[in-house]
């Protein structure tokens, strides 16, 4: 072990300067379809001291997943700085990245047996040598060390190291603005809908933003703007935290919605800390009570025709049994960025039970939203083909069906039975025991009222015109 004090005149041997954060960063965070795969644009300012002339500036604590190609450093004109090159060292690069992140910080160095060797400001890191400036202003070279410690409570910088080789016309302290894209930061909207008990369908709707930081750096005191939409990026489920927003005199400030180009944006009203590896949830809108509607839908024939030619094959033998989907519909009061909606209802002995969840796409305001929550436990369908006949001389084929819906629940339900006539594109409804509520060129919807603890039956007949539209 050797400690070598150096004269202050040897400071010129230390070619790298360190930069400290001047203020909290500004982050524009893009939607994150998959946890940890997000994208953000960062703008941050570091205070740097330039000696004048040629030097290498080292800036630690940048995100491990930053895009080095997109980095834009900006010195004030007064510095007269000319950038010769810049490089980003990933964590662990060169074997000294963790120590490089401590440049400019006060540290203590210990030897192999734990004995103190030196204390001061860390100025330079080589593979086997540390350069420090002690409290008296002297420089020290420390070799054969085993541990470097920060002061108690000091945060350890994380992430990548930026090196900038530059020539500065004027010495002094200057703010350096860094703008760069990075991965690992993303957000998605998360919604909860509390279904009120009773015959009238109403939901208490809560909207929040879930911010994920998996980028390899802690963010402190960050000004955040969330971008909503689907911008195209050249490079290409978060855990839900239920967030109740109290309204009234002490209600929290809410994000300010705006428009950026063709996208929506939400500027958070307060600065936020985003530790690495964290998920942070903030309110997006004030809670609202919305009218809703419950629907039950059964696709009794899910095969859609390709229509290359009429399909006159025999029907599938026997009865086909199917489930009934439970749906919830409402009209969006605000623009809803894509995300997950979780619907809750009261259970026995528990006021909050999850009824189901569904993804929604970006939804403009005043737009109907339909959520499929799952399969209704007490509703089942049975579908049978009761007749099938082909009359080639007349140029048509007739097919008749019987659909039975059983309801073992304690409340009557109206089930929309959805049929896709699949044998050929030219078809008509010859007869039905229940008039369809909706029909188009490819679909029929029959509303069937099913009593509690009972069943109901739909019968109908389709005719396919084999000559119309045939190839």
pLDDT computed for residue 23 by the predictor: 67
**Where does the pLDDT of residue 79 fall: very low under 50, low under 70, confident under 90, or very high at 90 and above?**
confident
pLDDT digits (tens, 9 = 90+) for 286-300: 999 999 999 999 987
Q: Whole-model pTM?
A: 0.71
Provide the mean pLDDT of the chain: 82
What domains does the chain contain, in order, with CATH numbers? 3-182 (2.30.30.100), 293-324+373-465 (2.60.40)
pLDDT digits (tens, 9 = 90+) for 110-139: 888 888 999 998 888 887 889 999 989 899
**Where does the pLDDT of residue 147 fall: very low under 50, low under 70, confident under 90, or very high at 90 and above?**
confident
**Rounded to 5 degrees, what are φ and ψ at 11?**
-55, -30
pLDDT computed for residue 214 by the predictor: 86
pLDDT digits (tens, 9 = 90+) for 304-348: 555 678 889 999 888 999 999 999 999 999 999 999 999 999 776
């Amino acid at each position: 072990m050797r400690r070598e004090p150096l004269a202050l005149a040897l400071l010129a041997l230390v070619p790298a300067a360190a930069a400290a954060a001047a203020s909290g960063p500004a982050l524009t965070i893009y939607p994150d379809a998959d946890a940890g795969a997000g994208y953000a644009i960062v703008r941050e300012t570091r205070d740097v001291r330039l000696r004048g002339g040629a030097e290498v500036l080292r800036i630690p604590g940048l995100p491990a997943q930053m895009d080095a190609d997109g980095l834009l450093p900006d010195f004030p004109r007064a510095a007269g700085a000319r950038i010769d090159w810049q490089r980003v060292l990933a964590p662990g690069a060169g074997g000294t990245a963790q120590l490089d992140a401590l440049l400019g910080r006060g540290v203590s160095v210990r030897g192999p047996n734990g004995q103190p060797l030196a204390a001061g400001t860390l100025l330079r890191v080589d593979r086997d040598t540390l350069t420090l400036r002690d409290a008296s202003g002297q420089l020290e070279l420390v070799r054969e060390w085993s541990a470097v410690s920060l002061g108690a409570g000091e945060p350890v910088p994380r992430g990548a190291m930026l090196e900038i080789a530059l020539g500065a016309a004027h010495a002094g302290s200057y703010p350096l603005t860094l703008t760069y894209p990075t991965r690992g930061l993303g957000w998605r909207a998360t919604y909860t809908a509390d279904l009120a008990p009773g015959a009238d369908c109403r939901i208490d709707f809560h909207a929040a933003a879930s911010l994920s930081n998996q980028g390899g750096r802690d963010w402190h005191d960050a000004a955040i703007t969330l971008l909503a939409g689907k911008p195209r990026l050249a490079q290409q489920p978060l855990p839900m935290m239920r967030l109740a927003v109290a309204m009234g005199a002490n209600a929290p400030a809410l994000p300010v919605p705006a428009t950026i180009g063709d996208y929506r944006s939400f500027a958070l009203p307060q600065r936020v800390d985003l530790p690495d590896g964290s998920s942070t949830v903030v309110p997006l809108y004030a809670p609202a009570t919305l009218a809703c509607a419950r629907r039950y839908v059964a696709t009794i024939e899910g095969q859609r025709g390709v229509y290359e030619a009429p399909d006159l094959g025999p029907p599938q033998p026997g009865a086909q049994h199917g489930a009934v989907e439970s749906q919830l519909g409402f009209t969006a009061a605000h623009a809803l960025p894509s995300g997950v909606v979780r619907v809750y209802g009261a259970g026995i002995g528990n006021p909050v039970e999850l009824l189901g969840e569904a993804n929604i796409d970006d939804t403009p305001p005043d737009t109907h939203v339909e959520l499929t929550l799952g399969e209704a436990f007490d509703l089942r369908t049975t579908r049978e083909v009761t007749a099938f006949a082909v009359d080639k001389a007349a140029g048509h084929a007739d097919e008749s069906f019987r659909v039975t819906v059983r309801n073992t629940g304690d409340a009557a339900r109206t089930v929309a039975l959805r049929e896709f006539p699949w044998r050929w594109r030219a078809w008509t409804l010859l007869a039905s025991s229940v008039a369809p509520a909706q029909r188009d060129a490819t679909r029929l919807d029959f509303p069937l009222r099913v009593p509690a603890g009972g069943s109901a039956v739909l019968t109908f007949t389709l005719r396919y015109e084999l000559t119309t539209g045939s190839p």
